[in-house]
Chain A
Amino acid sequence: MKEMTENTGKPTNYYVPEQSNLPIIGSVGLFILVLGAGNFIQSSTDKVKAEEGSLQAFMGSMGPYILTLGLLIIFYLMYKWWSTAARESMANMNSAQLDRSYRQGMLWFITSEVMFFAAFFGALWYARTLIVPWLGGEGNNAMTHALLWPDFNAIWPVTTTPGGTTTQAMGPWGLPAINTAILLTSSWTLTIAHHALIDRNRSTLILFTWLTALLGVIFLGLQAYEYYHAYTDLGLTLGSGIYGNTFFMLTGFHGLHVTIGTIFLIVLSIRCSKGHFTPENHFAYEAGAWYWHFVDVVWLFLFVFVYAF
């Protein structure tokens, strides 16, 4: 094999792990999580009316507890799985080849995340370029407009929906612009930290990784404030028609990913302080960095297509 010729002190055999109970814990956890989520959502919104005293109503009332149990199992699993992987990595069980497997796996995972966002961006573009003009009577839809929605004004952002819900649009040049600057800066601080890792400059590494995580927290704080502003001052909610739908779904899923990325960075900061990473062996750090840059790039698309234009 190729890596037999490399003398890095790394094992040459591919590490096929022993039996593991992690996957089955994860599967049970996911099942309980979504079972709870489904029942919780149904019992707390008005779409589904369960008959009182029925099994369906009972499951609905148990929803929050089942959901919490599922979340606890999944959090436990994530802690357990990644600490196992970190231990294996530090015990030098990972050959160069396995390291490549992890890297490639992470890249393809991020690719799948890109496609998840693509679905919502696709909805945004489809709505802006086709649905709204059609509802306004373009193409062969003159009668749709005249008969169904005669009062609808086909502009983007849709501040008045065909059904009559009104809202105000969110401008780009306040908090969103500041948040753009914050995320761009965070990519820069993270790159400094990464270079420091490779140069064995530990104090810079630790400082700048923490700094990046801190910028993530600030971003999330500002985003939360922006949501508050949208709901209270602008009347812009998740339910304010297609503009509010795409606005909150895109920024919301992005915010969720920033949250995950920030937790990732905090864990990496702690692991940096413990001296877990070496210039040769720091897959987890790179994975976190890639993830963070991905979140950053998604934000740039958001800024351009959701806020600016």
Chain B
Amino acid sequence: MAHDHHPTGIKRWLFTTNHKDIGSMYLWFSFIMFLIGGAMALGIRTELFQPGLQFFDPNTFNSLTTLHGLIMVFGAVMPAFVGLANWLIPMQIGAPDMALPRMNNFSFWILPFAFTLLLLSLVPQLFPDGAPNFGWTFYAPLSTKYGPASTDFFIFGVHLMGISSIMGAINVIVTVFNMRAPGMTLMKMPMFVWTWVITAFLLIMVMPVLAGAVTMMLTDRHFGTSFFDAAGGGDPVMFQHIFWFFGHPEVYIMILPAFGIASHIIPTFSRKPLFGYASMVYATASIAFLSFLVWAHHMFTVGMPVAGELYFMIATMIIAVPTGVKIFNWVATMWKGSITFETPMLFALAFVILFTLGGVSGVMLAMTPVDKQYHDTYFVVAHFHYVLFPGAIFGTIAAVYYWLPKWTGNMFNETLSKIHFWLSIISVNITFFPMHFSGLAGMQRRVPDYNMMFEGFNQLSSIGAFMLGFSQLLFMYIVINCIRGGQGKATDNVWDGAEGLEFTHLPSPAPYHSFEKAPEVK
């Protein structure tokens, strides 16, 4: 079965069964989607630079917010994590490849087609009434009764993304449960592997529910059903319940792998083992379990019974406990460590601090009476951008800087990467911090116009957004430069004292097939 020849050209990428090739494709796809979704965000910020309508009519503005959200969630963050899983899990557990390599490639190649379908909605000749305009949460009846024609293609696009995610998740779980090297017991698994296998459980449990939700949308739109229409005995609020039963675990799908990444980087650069490994595993599992029980905290304003509001408020706050365990563990890992501040560590530290900020505003939003004030304001936008940008995306960037020398065999440009870090961390706060204030003062999300009194905060956000967006082009340059040779060869261990099979057992760059023979794990 050993085959050392490297297929070349386009066929290498189209027909590949190699986890590293597939991981690279996922990561590049994710970055392209990140740029497209980012361009839409800059469109939004341009319009919001001043009150009044300048560049986009309200419907186009709504389409921009909708597509920005969908592309970032399903096209940028999720594929980035699957790409990292592909690259890292086989190396970290001592496997030759992913368990089901052909299905692995299928999972990837569905995605470009799914997003082509979604982006086709921007072609006015095909869809004269415009792209999806109902927000990334596509609440009924906006998406059923009032949705434009492109909604149907969005629905099928979601189906395809779901198929891709489920196959990817099955692959991860089977790989982790069946492909570990001898001696690699579950409680010796690296944290990234643990967080990903739990993420994969969440994906398998909730992506089919999303498929069910969009299927009901499709039949409501075209085949006379009334799941989300009271006249037929349905209820538009039921859509929100089904959607958020998917949606809440989904937000943990977008953060758990980043938790795993931080749990690798912080010990390496603190030169101490991870504090409380077992509690990290259990905390991650608890967060995942609780994520199924809190969905209606997104819906406090729909008129739920008070008992429901109380339950969902308290259950949501309980999540802060395992999350707090994780944050204290990271801090305790650094305590009295010999810390150095290489770029991956800088991003990991920013992740811990700013994710915590987003988590704390999340606890504020969990309080029902308070949420009734904050609901659908920029405070919510600030909250979830703090957990997604400095959370999920900084986590991904940290991972890329941390493992890039292992992947390419070359060191990246340290100075430029630090400039990238400082530009990112400053501009991410300029962009999103003022949104807390404009939101608390009452500025509504998803509206292209606003009261004069919010102008200052919005101008700050817009300036920050352009800085933040263009800083990521520097990131792209650093990565490409590193692939082409960078700042010289990386050592096999790459970082002083990095742990894990990929650093201790494999050369840099890691060979095309990771472990043809399983290593012995002590």
Task: Give the B-binding residues of A (Cβ under 8 A).
Answer: 1-2, 11, 13-24, 26-28, 30-31, 34-35, 37-38, 41-42, 45, 47-48, 50-51, 54-56, 59, 81, 97-98, 100-102, 104-105, 108-109, 111-116, 118-120, 122-123, 126-127, 130-132, 134-135, 139-140, 148-149, 158, 161-163, 165, 237-239, 241-245, 249
Closest residue of B by beta carbon distance from A11:
B1
Mark B residues whose CB is within 8 Å of A: 1-3, 7, 11-12, 14-18, 95-97, 99-103, 105-106, 108-110, 112-114, 116-117, 125-128, 149, 152-153, 155-157, 159-160, 163, 166, 169-171, 173-174, 177-179, 182, 204-209, 211-213, 215-216, 218-219, 221-227, 230-235, 238, 241-242, 245, 303, 305, 513, 516, 518
For A100, list chain B residues within 8 Å (CB): 178
Shortest Cβ distance from B280 into chain A, in angstroms? Answer: 24
Q: A31-B116, A239-B223, A242-B226 are in contact. Are A127 and B235 (CB under 8 A)?
A: yes
Q: Which residues of A contact B128 (CB under 8 A)?
A: 51, 54, 56
Interface of B is mostly: helix
Contact B99 A101 (CB under 8 A): yes
Residues on B with beta carbons closer than 8 Å to the beta carbon of A23: 15, 102-103, 105-106, 108-109
For A16, the chain B residues whose CB sits under 8 A away are: 1, 17-18, 96-97, 101, 513
Chain A nearest CB from B372 CB (Å) reads 16
Known: A16-B96, A48-B149. A104 touches B205 (CB 8 A): no
On whether the beta carbons of B212 and A119 are closer than 8 Å, the reply is yes
State how many angstroms separate the Cβ of A213 from the closest Cβ of chain B.
26
Cα(A303)–Cα(B12), bound, Å:
50
Given contacts A38-B153, A55-B126, A239-B224, contact A112 B204 (CB under 8 A): yes
Interchain CA distance A279-B209 in the complex, whole Å: 37
Q: Within the assembled complex, what's the spacing in Å between the Cα atoms of A118 and B209?
A: 7
Verify B126–A161 contact, CB threshold 8 A. no
Docked Cα-Cα span, A127 to B237, in Å, equals 11
Measured between alpha carbons, how far is A309 from B100 in the docked complex, in Å? 43
| Pairwise interchain contact A127-B233, C-beta atoms closer than 8 A | yes
Do B204 and A127 touch across chains, with their CB atoms under 8 A apart? no
Q: Are A2 and B182 in contact (CB under 8 A)?
A: yes
Instruction: Tell whether, in the assembled complex, residue B233 and residue A22 are in contact, meaning their CB atoms are under 8 Å apart.
Output: no
- With the chains together, A243 CA to B206 CA distance in Å? 25
Enumerate chain A residues within 8 angstroms of B100, measured Cβ to Cβ. Answer: 101-102, 105
Of A22, A116, A131, A140, which is within 8 A of B235 by CB? A131
The residues of B that contact A97 with a CB separation of less than 8 Å are 178-179
Q: Are A242 and B227 in contact (CB under 8 A)?
A: yes
Given contacts A19-B11, A27-B106, A115-B206, whether A249 and B225 have CB atoms under 8 Å apart is yes
Greatest chain A CB density within 10 A among B114, B171, B178 is at: B178
- B156 CB contact (under 8 Å) in A27, A34, A242, A245: A34
Closest to A154 in B: B233
* Chain B residue contacts of A11, Cβ below 8 A: 1
Docked-complex contact B170 and A38, CB < 8 angstroms: no
**CB <8 Å contact, A24 and B15:** yes
- Distance A55 CA – B178 CA, assembled complex (angstroms): 50
Total number of residue pairs linking A and B with CB closer than 8 Å: 244
Cβ–Cβ < 8 Å partners of A163 in chain B = 226, 231-232
- CB neighbours of A2 from chain B (8 A): 182
- Residues of chain B within 8 A (CB-CB) of A111 are 204-205
Q: Evaluate whether A116 and B1 lie within 8 angstroms (CB atoms) in the complex, with A19-B15, A139-B305 already known.
A: no
Bound Cα distance from A134 to B234, whole angstroms: 11
Question: Could you list 19 examples of A-B contacts with CB < 8 Å?
Answer: A14-B179, A16-B96, A16-B513, A34-B117, A47-B222, A50-B149, A59-B126, A101-B179, A104-B173, A105-B103, A108-B173, A112-B170, A112-B207, A114-B208, A119-B209, A165-B232, A238-B219, A238-B225, A242-B227
- Selected from A119, A149, A238, the residue in CB contact (under 8 A) with B208 is A119
In Å, the complex CA distance between A179 and B324 comes to: 53
Q: Which residues of B contact A98 (CB under 8 A)?
A: 99
Chain B residue at minimum C-beta to C-beta distance from A98: B99
**B233 and A161 form a contact (CB under 8 A):** yes
Closest residue of chain B to A148 (Cβ to Cβ) is: B230
Residues of B within 8 A of A20 (CB): 15, 17, 102, 105
Give min CB distance, B83 to chain A, whole Å. Answer: 16
**Measured between alpha carbons, how far is A302 from B127 in the docked complex, in Å?**
39
Closest Cβ of chain B to A130, distance in Å, is: 8
- Enumerate the 6 nearest inter-chain pairs by beta-carbon distance, A residue then B residue, closest first: A119-B212, A239-B224, A242-B233, A163-B231, A34-B156, A23-B106
Residue on A nearest B7 in the bound complex, by CB: A19
A288 to B431, CA, bound (A): 54
Q: How far does the alpha carbon of A130 sit from the alpha carbon of B155 in the complex, in Å?
A: 27
Most A C-beta atoms less than 10 A away, residue of B11, B105, B114, B177: B105
Residues of chain B contacted by A158 (CB below 8 angstroms): 233
Residues of A within 8 A of B245 (CB): 122
Q: Given A20-B15, A241-B233, A242-B227 in contact, is the A27-B110 Cβ separation under 8 Å?
A: yes
Which of chain B's residues have a CB closer than 8 A to the CB of A50?
149
Task: Return chain A residues, CB-CB under 8 Å to B177.
Answer: 104
Asked whether B233 lies within 8 Å of A135 as measured between CB atoms, the reply is: yes
Q: Do the beta carbons of B125 and A56 come within 8 Å of each other? A: yes
The CA of A28 and the CA of B113, in the complex, are separated in Å by 7
Whole-angstrom distance between the Cβ of A307 and the nearest chain B Cβ = 18
Give CA–CA (A111, B206) in the complex, Å.
11
Complex: A104 Cα to B211 Cα, angstroms: 22
A41 touches B222 (CB 8 A): yes
Q: Are A161 and B231 in contact (CB-based, < 8 A)?
A: yes
Do residues A55 and B238 form an inter-chain contact, with CB atoms below 8 A? no
Tell me, rounded to whole Å, the shortest Cβ–Cβ distance linking B177 to chain A.
Answer: 6
* Residue of A51, A119, A130, A134 with most partner-chain B CB within 10 A: A119
A22-B102 CB under 8 A given contacts A38-B152, A123-B242, A161-B226: yes
CA distance A135 to B237 in the complex (A): 13
User: What is the CA–CA distance of A24 and B207 in the complex, to the nearest angstrom?
Assistant: 22
Residue of B nearest to A121 (CB): B212
A19 to B5, CA, bound (A): 11
CB distance from A160 to the nearest CB of B (A): 9
- C-alpha gap A16/B149 in the complex (Å): 43
CA A29 to CA B112, docked complex, whole Å: 13
For residue B125, which residues in chain A have a CB less than 8 angstroms away from its CB? 54-56
With A56-B125, A131-B233 as contacts: A239 and B225 at CB distance below 8 Å: yes
Q: Are A26 and B238 in contact (CB under 8 A)?
A: no
**Contact at B232–A161, with CB atoms within 8 Å?**
yes
> Given that A16-B17, A20-B105, A108-B174 are known contacts, is A123 also in contact with B227, CB under 8 Å in the complex?
yes
Q: Which residues of B contact A27 (CB under 8 A)?
A: 106, 109-110, 112-113
Asked whether, in the complex, the Cβ of A131 is within 8 Å of the Cβ of B225, the reply is no
Q: How far is the CA of A83 from the CA of B157 in the complex (A)?
A: 28
Is B216's CB under 8 angstroms from A123's CB? yes
Using A105-B100, A108-B204, A119-B213 as known contacts, say yes or no to A17 and B117 having CB atoms under 8 A apart: no
Which residue of chain B has its CB nearest to the CB of A144? B230
A215 shortest CB reach to chain B, Å: 27
Tell me which residues across on chain A come within 8 A of B231, comparing CB atoms.
161-163
Q: Which of A45, A97, A105 has the most CB of B within 10 A?
A: A105
Chain B residues lying within 8 Å of A109, measured Cβ to Cβ, are 166, 170
Contact partner of B14 among A21, A105, A113, A130, CB < 8 A? A21
In the assembled complex, the Cα of A27 lies from the Cα of B115 at a distance in Å of 12
